[in-house]
Amino acid sequence: MTAHDIPGQSALAELARTTARRCGVDLDAHAGDRGVSSPVNGEQLTSLSWTSADGVDAAVARAQEAFRVWRTVPAPARGALVKRLGELLAVHKDDVATLISLEVGKITSEARGEVQEMIDICDFAVGLSRQLYGRTMPSERPGHRLMETWHPLGVVGVVSAFNFPAAVWSWNTAVALVCGDPVVWKPSELAPLTALACQAILARAIAECDAPGDLSQVVVGGADVGQALVDHSGVALLSATGSTRMGRAVGPRVADRFGRSLLELGGNNAAVVGPSADLDLATRGIVFSAAGTAGQRCTTMRRLIVHSSVVEELADRLVSAYGRLPVGDPMAEGTLVGPLIHGGAYEAMQDALSRAAAEGGKLVAGGGRELADAAPNAYYARPALVRLPEQTAVVQRETFAPILYVLPYDDFDEAIALNNAVPQGLSSSVFTNDQAEAERFLSAEGSDCGIVNVNIGTSGAEIGGAFGGEKETGGGRESGSDAWRAYMRRATNTVNYSGELPLAQGVDFSV
């Protein structure tokens, strides 16, 4: 199935303008010479002015001034601002989702899901604002109290990627704000309209709550702007989402100035399908994880490790499902696979398929370009399924495109080893009705990823749990659980109410 009607340039440009206006963004006020294109048709939506690297200094200075005020505001009062942000996002849910679809090509349900994730993290952060817990520990000295307290950290810099142009910002911003930190955001240059809309919505919440106006700022620009944010000594925490290559550059630069970094980098995610698996359930989970967002999620399933007793049946089911996937205009009803972000992504996909073939792989579904006549400047591709006898070199690398490599296994130890035998460690899953297999996959000797699932796919994480991965994924954690601690500084406190001065460890220093 293929959706052939792709909107023209004028229709999408007008949609972008009117939608941005409803969010509070006047695109004329941001006009410049940098074009913003849509992957839906490959045509320009508008043009914007970019922030210079020098503008980062001014933004961080303003954020530092806001921090001096915001850190003294009680955390539950800070939560009131985030509550209002969530309310306004609910009002503008369809508007922000439309901009996401226009700029990065997400289908409507996934774009709306991204905004719902933003609303959910606001709800989480509001509750968190009353739960920034320290702890009290027993002191070895009589008449002393030993405890730890948590305090606002400082300016948080956020560098986000195109594939989640709003949600990742919200994960950082909602939590940072209740922790007492302002945010300076460098969005992907491929999705600036979404960023401006989110900033306008938060600016309205800030004004309504009488909070410091520079608590949130957006610096739209290229790599030089991102580098300026990375290197700025006034940025206490730098949260960066992107490729492992980007993380290798960012991490040492932030560490060199003794700043903190939170890195969410590459994923090369696998699912293991055991002989007892429910293949109906597995097929649905696999197709969404592998083909959703046109394979452009960090949690996209890229490897499928299937027991030899069921690999043929499951592969046949997937070939059938891939052939039925509706590819086309992401905003059209019924579309499940939208466009790749640009031509470079399509070329990377074709290069990976060629490498897989050279390494003994067989393309059994998809892989080709579609809608080239209807949208010659856009890049639509049917998700690809590749059978491989073993995990070859091409499988070791993450290709940010909808390619799923199918690999057989015979022994569960072998399956775990295949899952772990890549440099990345973000997400993983196992489909099985064997309790022992499930528990082994979740155990210390099982999957080495930061996200480990049973009987669901690799994508679709909830905000209540910490999100992130190990190895070349960077080790960072965002969103739920205790990820808030990255945005605060810890102090260990000793209170002496004894009237005496005993020293720890029995030290005698009498004078």
Residues labelled as active-site residues:
264
SS3 268: coil
> How far apart (Å, rounded) are the C-alpha atoms in residues 40 and 35?
15
> How far apart (Å, rounded) are the C-alpha atoms in residues 115 and 103?
14
Is residue 22 within 8 Å of residue 98, measured between CB atoms? Answer: no
> How far apart (Å, rounded) are the C-alpha atoms in residues 461 and 474?
18
Could you tell me the maximum CA-CA distance found in the chain, to the nearest angstrom? 90
Q: What is the DSSP letter of 232?
A: -
Is residue 317 within 8 Å of residue 285, measured between CB atoms? Answer: no
Q: How far is CA 291 from CA 160, 317, 442, 500, 505, in A?
A: 22, 14, 25, 68, 60
SS3 303: strand
> How far apart (Å, rounded) are the C-alpha atoms in residues 206 and 223?
29
Cβ neighbours of 52 (radius 10 Å): 14
Q: Where are the alpha helices (DSSP H) in 71-149?
A: 75-91, 93-104, 108-128
Closest listed residue to residue 35, CA positions, set 22, 50, 25, 21: 50
| Structure tokens that stand for 361 in this block | 């792989």
Q: What is the DSSP letter of 503?
A: P
Phi first, then psi: give them for residue 189, nearest 5 degrees: -65, -10
User: What is the helix, strand, coil percentage profile of the chain, to 5?
Assistant: 40, 20, 40
SS3 495: strand
> How far apart (Å, rounded) are the C-alpha atoms in residues 397 and 497?
59
End-to-end CA distance of the chain: 88
> How far apart (Å, rounded) are the C-alpha atoms in residues 412 and 497?
59
Is residue 266 within 8 Å of residue 298, measured between CB atoms? Answer: yes
